[in-house]
Chain A
């Protein structure tokens, strides 16, 4: 079965500092991994995905994520955080059989303070 874990409920970072939001995964077969962001009372917005290829994936709004197969991780990163990055972030993994089905982590609330 596919699953993802986000070990941190909340991450606090000062504006201008680098940020990392952690995600680990458990899959049978090839991992197809995603990051989404959710602003209050809004749906989820796609940030980036890893399907194959380079381990460092670049996405929207300056975010990137590093796929690490040995550590089964897919941490979201940004070199310099903005206050506007404050939101809820979800890691997700695609089902290995039904490609249309996704499994989401519990979410991490990112707080960027001025």
Chain B
């Protein structure tokens, strides 16, 4: 299947600093990528849809100034958590669909990034 690479897998930062997480599609092009947040023992919460060449689309309740998303190329999307606080500590997962938007395509996920804000 398609490969989505996410980096870093773990990051610890001090409160008030910014952290960047990268998501790359390694063997296919992704005009769209998705960023999810997962709390312990809970499901995935869709944060935003990252669109190559245009602004990201944020889900209701997600602060776009806090979670900056840049889709710089057809294979790279980045999520920057700005001025991080302990409540931002979470597991962040990116995903990219294959299939060109057709119903038969699948969603492939990165390995996730564990963010801990001290």
A pairs with B: yes
| Interface range on chain B (Cβ under 8 Å from partner) | 20 to 34
Determine if A2 is an interface residue (Cβ-Cβ < 8 Å): no
Choose from B95, B102, B114 the contact partner of A99 (Cβ within 8 Å): B102
User: Total A-B residue pairs with C-beta atoms closer than 8 Å?
Assistant: 61
Pair A99/B93 contact, Cβ less than 8 Å: no
Choose from A34, A90, A109 the contact partner of B44 (Cβ within 8 Å): A90
Determine if B49 is an interface residue (Cβ-Cβ < 8 Å): yes
Provide the residues of chain B in CB contact with A44, threshold 8 Å. 44, 93, 95, 109
Determine if A94 is an interface residue (Cβ-Cβ < 8 Å): yes
Provide the residues of chain B in CB contact with A106, threshold 8 Å. 42-43
* CA of A71 to CA of B107, assembled, Å: 25
Residue of chain B at shortest CB distance from A106: B43
Residue of chain A at shortest CB distance from B104: A51
**Chain B: minimal CB distance from A94 (Å):** 7
Of the listed residues A34, A102, A105, the one surrounded by the most CB atoms of chain B closer than 10 A to its CB is A102
Determine if B61 is an interface residue (Cβ-Cβ < 8 Å): no
Pair A42/B103 contact, Cβ less than 8 Å: no
* CA of A102 to CA of B41, assembled, Å: 19
Interface residues of B in 12-48 (CB under 8 A from A): 32, 34, 41-44, 46
Provide the residues of chain A in CB contact with B106, threshold 8 Å. 34, 46, 49
Choose from A41, A42, A99, A107 the contact partner of B43 (Cβ within 8 Å): A107
With contacts A90-B44, A107-B43 taken as known, whether A100 is within 8 angstroms of B109 at the C-beta atoms is no
Provide the residues of chain A in CB contact with B49, threshold 8 Å. 100-101
Pair A102/B107 contact, Cβ less than 8 Å: yes
With contacts A99-B99, A106-B42 taken as known, whether A42 is within 8 angstroms of B111 at the C-beta atoms is yes
B residues with CB within 8 A of A: 1, 4, 6, 9, 32, 34, 41-44, 46, 49, 91, 93, 95, 97, 99, 101-112, 114
A-B contact pairs, 7 of them (CB 8 A): A32-B103, A41-B114, A43-B4, A44-B44, A94-B103, A100-B32, A105-B43
Further 11 A-B residue pairs, CB within 8 A, beyond A44-B95, A99-B99, A102-B107: A30-B103, A32-B103, A41-B112, A43-B95, A46-B1, A46-B106, A99-B103, A100-B49, A100-B97, A100-B107, A104-B43
